[in-house]
C-alpha cells in the first residue's frame, strides 16, 4: 500500500511538471519575444547608455522595466536609445497583454485544460492497460482492473458517453478521441502498455485498433471484443490477437483476469461473485514461492502444477517451491486470480 501511494505521488508530481511544461510551451512565442526585447535593449543600453549601467545585469533589468513602462532614459542618452526604449512600453502592452488574455482563456476553458491535463497524465504511465471504449463492458473492466491495483488509461470517442464521468471520478485518465487515430493510441501510451482491451461495439474498428496496437508494440497483450463468438474463436491466432472474446460469453472480471496474463479455463458465479479456474505461469514474483504461501497470499487454491502436458495434482507437493515458467492451475475469484497473474510479470 505504501509503495503504491509513493508511486502515485511521484506520478502526480511528474504530471504537474509535465503539465507546466506543456502550458509554457503554448506561450513560447510570447516568452521568446520578451526575452529578445530584453536582450536587445539591455545590450544597446550597455553600448550606448550615458552614463553606462554598472553591469550587464543592470542593463537587462532596465530593459525589462522599460517594457513595463518605467522610464530608464537619461537626457544624455543618444536618440536611438531614446527611440528604442520609448517604444518598449508599447511592446510590453501588446506582448504581455496578449499573453495575459491567452492565459485567462486557457484557465477559464475547463474543457481545454482538462484535455491537456489528461494527455500529460497519460504520458506518465508505464506497464499499464489501455482500454478502448468506456461503455457498459469497458467500464466494468475498468472497475475490475482498478480493484486489482492496475493502472488504466482509457480512450472514448463520445464526449457524452454514459460512464465517462464515473471513470474520471475513479482517477482514470480518459482521452476523448477516436481510437482509430494512431496519435490517440500513442497519447494513451500503447507503446509502453502491458495490454490493450478493445471493447467497443464496432467489430471492424476493434480489429483495426488491435492491428495498430500490435504494430506499435509487438509485445503488447491484445484482448479484442467481437460480437460473433465463432469468428472470435477463429480470428485470434491468424491475426496475432491474444484473446478475441465475445462479450455475451465472458464477464468483465474474466476479461480483466485474462488481461493480466491468466488463461481462463472455466468461469462461474459464487454468491454473485465471478470465480474462475485458470492457468497462471509462475514467472516474476511468483517464481520460487511455495504453493501454500501463494495460496495464503493471494486467497486462491492451486489445483495442479507442472509444464504442458505434464500437469499433475498438487496434493502431495504443497510445500515445495514453484519453478520459474511452471504452470499453475488455480481457482479463486476473478479479481484475486487476475491480481496473482499480474505478479507473474512484475
DSSP 137-182: HHHHHHHHHHHTT--EEEE-S-TT-TTHHHHHHTT--EE-S-TTSH
Instruction: Please compute the mean of the pLDDT values over residues 176-205 and round it to a whole number.
Output: 92
- Intra-chain end-to-end CA distance of the chain, in Å: 16
- The pLDDT of residue 153 is 94
- The pLDDT of residue 174 is 92
- The pLDDT of residue 252 is 64
How would you class 184 by CB atoms within 10 Å of its CB: exposed for 0-12, middle for 13-18, buried for 19 or more? buried
- The pLDDT of residue 156 is 94
What sign for the dihedral angle of Cα 178, 243, 7, 139? positive
Q: Grid coordinates representing 141?
A: 473492466
- The pLDDT of residue 72 is 79
Q: Grid coordinates representing 86?
A: 520609448
Confidence tier at 107 by pLDDT (50, 70, 90):
low
Residue 245, SS3 per DSSP: strand
On the question of pLDDT at 133 being above 70, the answer is yes
**Is the bond leading into 59 cis (omega within 30 degrees of zero)?**
no
Confidence tier at 190 by pLDDT (50, 70, 90):
very high
Rg (CA), the chain: 29
- In 3-state terms, the chain is what percent helix, strand and coil (to 5)? 50, 20, 30
Q: Which long-range contacts (CB under 8 A, 24 or more apart) does 46-51 make?
A: 48/77, 48/78, 48/80, 48/81, 49/74, 49/77, 49/81, 50/74, 50/76, 50/77, 50/78, 51/76
Residue 234, SS3 per DSSP: helix
% of the chain surpassing 70 pLDDT? 83
Q: Could you tell me if residue 172 is left (phi over 0), alpha (psi between -120 and 50 degrees) or otherwise beta?
A: beta
Q: Grid coordinates representing 189?
A: 501510451
Strand order across the 243-245 sheet: 174-175, 152-155, 129-132, 195-198, 221-225, 243-245
Confidence tier at 140 by pLDDT (50, 70, 90):
confident
Q: Grid coordinates representing 217?
A: 508494440
Instruction: Please compute the mean of the pLDDT values over residues 232-248 and round it to a whole number.
Output: 67
Q: Grid coordinates representing 130?
A: 489501455
319 vs 90, more confident: 90
269 - beta bridge partners?
A: 274
- The pLDDT of residue 246 is 67
What is the chain's mean pLDDT, rounded? 82
Residue 50's H or E segment, with its range, is none
On the question of pLDDT at 253 being above 70, the answer is no
Q: Grid coordinates representing 184?
A: 490517440
**The cell 503539465 sits on which residue?**
19
**What residue segments make up the domains of the chain, in order of their start?**
1-124, 125-252, 263-343
The CATH number corresponding to 125-252 among 3.40.50.300, 3.40.50.1820, 3.30.565.10, 3.40.50.720 equals: 3.40.50.720
- The pLDDT of residue 185 is 95
Strand order across the 263-270 sheet: 263-270, 273-282, 326-333, 301-307, 310-313
Instruction: Give CA–CA dist 320/296, Å, rounded.
Output: 14
Q: Grid coordinates representing 278?
A: 485458470
263-343 CATH = 3.30.70.1450
DSSP β-ladder status, 301-307 and 310-313: antiparallel
Count of residues for the chain?
Answer: 346
* Global pTM value: 0.59
Instruction: Give CA–CA dist 261/338, Å, rounded.
Output: 8
Nearest CA-CA partner of 338 in 194, 225, 209:
194
Amino acid at each position: 500500500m505504501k509503495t503504491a501511494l509513493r508511486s502515485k505521488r511521484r506520478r502526480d508530481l511528474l504530471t504537474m511538471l509535465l503539465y507546466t511544461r506543456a502550458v509554457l510551451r503554448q506561450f513560447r512565442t510570447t516568452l521568446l519575444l520578451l526575452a529578445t526585447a530584453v536582450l536587445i535593449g539591455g545590450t544597446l543600453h550597455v553600448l550606448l547608455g550615458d552614463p553606462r549601467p554598472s553591469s550587464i545585469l543592470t542593463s537587462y533589468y532596465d530593459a525589462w522595466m522599460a517594457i513595463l513602462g518605467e522610464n530608464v532614459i537619461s537626457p544624455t542618452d543618444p536618440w536611438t536609445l531614446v527611440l528604442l526604449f520609448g517604444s518598449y512600453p508599447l511592446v510590453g502592452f501588446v506582448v504581455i497583454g496578449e499573453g495575459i488574455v491567452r492565459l485567462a482563456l486557457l484557465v477559464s476553458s475547463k474543457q481545454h485544460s482538462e484535455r491537456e491535463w489528461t494527455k500529460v497524465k497519460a504520458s506518465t504511465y508505464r506497464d499499464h492497460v489501455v482500454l478502448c471504449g468506456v461503455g457498459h463492458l469497458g467500464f466494468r473492466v475498468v472497475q475490475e482492473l482498478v480493484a486489482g491495483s492496475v493502472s488504466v488509461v482509457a480512450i472514448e470517442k463520445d464526449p457524452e458517453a454514459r460512464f465517462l464521468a464515473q471513470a474520471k471520478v475513479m482517477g482514470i485518465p480518459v482521452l476523448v478521441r477516436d481510437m482509430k487515430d494512431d496519435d490517440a493510441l500513442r497519447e494513451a501510451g500503447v507503446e509502453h502498455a502491458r495490454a490493450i482491451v478493445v471493447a467497443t461495439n464496432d467489430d471492424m474498428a476493434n480489429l483495426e485498433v488491435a492491428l495498430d496496437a500490435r504494430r506499435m508494440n509487438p509485445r503488447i497483450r491484445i484482448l479484442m471484443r467481437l460480437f460473433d463468438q465463432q469468428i472470435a474463436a477463429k480470428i485470434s491466432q491468424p491475426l496475432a490477437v491474444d484473446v478475441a472474446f465475445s462479450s455475451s460469453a465472458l464477464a468483465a472480471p474474466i476479461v480483466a483476469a485474462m488481461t493480466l496474463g491468466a488463461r481462463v479455463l472455466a468461469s462461474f458465479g459464487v454468491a454473485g461473485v465471478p470465480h474462475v479456474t485458470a492457468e497462471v505461469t509462475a514467472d516474476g514474483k511468483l517464481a520460487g514461492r511455495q504453493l501454500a504461501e501463494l495460496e495464503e497470499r493471494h486467497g486462491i487454491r492451486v489445483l495442479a502444477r507442472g509444464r504442458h502436458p505434464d500437469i499433475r495434482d498438487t496434493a502431495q507437493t504443497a510445500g515445495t517451491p514453484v519453478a520459474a515458467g511452471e504452470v499453475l492451475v488455480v481457482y479463486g475469484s476473478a479479481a484475486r486470480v487476475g491480481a496473482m497473474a499480474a505478479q507473474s510479470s512484475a
